[in-house]
Amino acid sequence: MAFAPWQWLLDGLGWVIAQIYEVIPNYGVTIIVLTVVIRVILLPLGIKQIRSMHHMQLVQPKVKQIQQRYKQNKTKQQEEIMKLYKEYGVNPFSGCWPTLLQFPILIAMYSVLRLPQHPLHIPEGTDLHRVIQQQIPQPIESADQIPTEAGPPDGTSFLTMNLLCSATQAGNADAELSDNVTVEGQKVVYPVDCGTEWVDRIPYYVFAVLMFGTTFYQQQQTQKAQPQGAVDPRQQTLMKLMPIMFGVFGIFFPAGLVLYWTTSNFWQIGQQYFMLKSRPTAEQLAQRARENEKSKKKGFLSSMSERAQEEQKRREQGSRGGTGQARRSTPGKGQTGKGQTGKGQTGKGQTGKGQTGKGQTGKGKPRPKPEDSGGTDPGQRPER
């Protein structure tokens, strides 16, 4: 189960290389373009790694203060340091993972660019497959098919180098490639053109030195961005050993893989250079951490609840405004209130102050006679 997905990854990577070669029929430029594509895909991880280094550098003075304060209590010291990391949103382990994730990609690139290989991960029928078959014909089914002379390296050459060769094979007229396969009891070897003169070795050695130098500089750049004591000692050891390891790899690996790693190092150096210019201050870092903490505590449901409450308040304010307008449009004191019912007709005008109170004795009009008011004489009322 684990083997099949890995083969799918290698086949997919070989397909991408072949498609780029169809557009740019230069093996070296194809590898450079593929490297840029991979680095763009890994860009979020690279940015996260560099930011983690910056954050660790910013909080390191406070870490040293905690270490001095709790020098005798290591447990309390670790607790306070972790609280500090949480306050500033710092993850001390996030800077290591992007570096480690590059190794599977390097192994995949090695599996695709190393030739000969079984199976060949370059799709059949493509131009890249054709130029590879000129030098390394596959499959070999009989001893008669084993080549005796090197094929033309034109399709895989870059800056006078045959990218199928390594620095150890450069300038060797008898250079051969083999994958320890035997046919009819005979070992299959492929003669390759890696140059015949000592000057042919120069570009191979130059790229091997560039691979070592860029790896070393990139690691030094990373260590400068990280304060002393802020990184796990195992990570520091790994970062110190990486330039040495890749310096050795640059001698024995195919030149195509050396070109890939050197291009990747140049990308990483430039990326770190520009990000180091825009590093935040400690106050900005703490403010970001507080804002992120608040947004995490809120969550989706909490934010939806707040929105619902705001909408309800808005509706209540709108309904209050509508009620106020309705009240202003109803009759006032002159009509229904004290004008007609109160002081006008029923209240003070007729029954209240108009008839009983102020109508006779006060300021009201004289009481009308029964015939004038349309009433009847009490003496003429029928008995019930």
Domain count, the chain: 1
**302 in a structural domain:** no
Position 297 scores a pLDDT of: 53
Q: Which range marks the domain in which residue 101 is found?
A: 3-135+145-282
Is the pLDDT at 323 greater than 60, yes or no? no
Distance CA 244, CA 251 (A): 11
In the predicted model, what is the mean pLDDT of the chain?
A: 76
Distance CA 8, CA 112 (A): 12
Position 99 scores a pLDDT of: 61
More confident residue, 88 or 355: 88
Question: Among 187-191, 250-254, 284-288, 297-301, which stretch is predicted with the lowest mean pLDDT?
Answer: 297-301
**292 in a structural domain:** no
Specify which of 113-122, 126-135, 267-276 reaches the highest per-range mean pLDDT. Answer: 126-135
Tokens of 15: 């397909």
What confidence category does residue 290 fall into, taking pLDDT thresholds of 50, 70 and 90? low
**338 in a structural domain:** no
Is the pLDDT at 272 greater than 60, yes or no? yes
**360 in a structural domain:** no
**303 in a structural domain:** no
| pTM, rounded to two decimals | 0.67
**297 in a structural domain:** no
Is the pLDDT at 350 greater than 60, yes or no? no
CA 56 centroid distance within chain? 19
| Residue 361 phi, psi (nearest 5) | -95, -25
Beta bridge partners of 254: 166
Exposed/middle/buried for residue 301 (C-beta within 10 Å: 0-12, 13-18, 19+): exposed
Is the pLDDT at 368 greater than 70, yes or no? no
Residue 50 contacts residue 97 (beta carbons within 8 Å): no
Position 337 scores a pLDDT of: 41
What confidence category does residue 281 fall into, taking pLDDT thresholds of 50, 70 and 90? low
More confident residue, 221 or 352: 221
DSSP string, 239-300: HHHHHHHHHHHHHHSBHHHHHHHHHHHHHHHHHHHHHHHTPPPHHHHHHHHHHHHHHHHHHH
Position 363 scores a pLDDT of: 45
More confident residue, 78 or 36: 36
More confident residue, 247 or 360: 247
What confidence category does residue 371 fall into, taking pLDDT thresholds of 50, 70 and 90? very low
**% residues pLDDT > 90 (the chain):** 28
Distance CA 384, CA 77 (A): 105
**23 in a structural domain:** yes
Position 229 scores a pLDDT of: 53
**27 in a structural domain:** yes
Q: How far is CA 66 from CA 222, 290, 375, in A?
A: 25, 21, 103
Position 302 scores a pLDDT of: 56
Is the pLDDT at 58 greater than 90, yes or no? no
Question: Among 138-152, 156-170, 254-268, 329-343, which stretch is predicted with the lowest mean pLDDT?
Answer: 329-343
Please tell me whether the peptide bond between 191 and the residue prior to it is cis, using omega within 30 degrees of 0: no
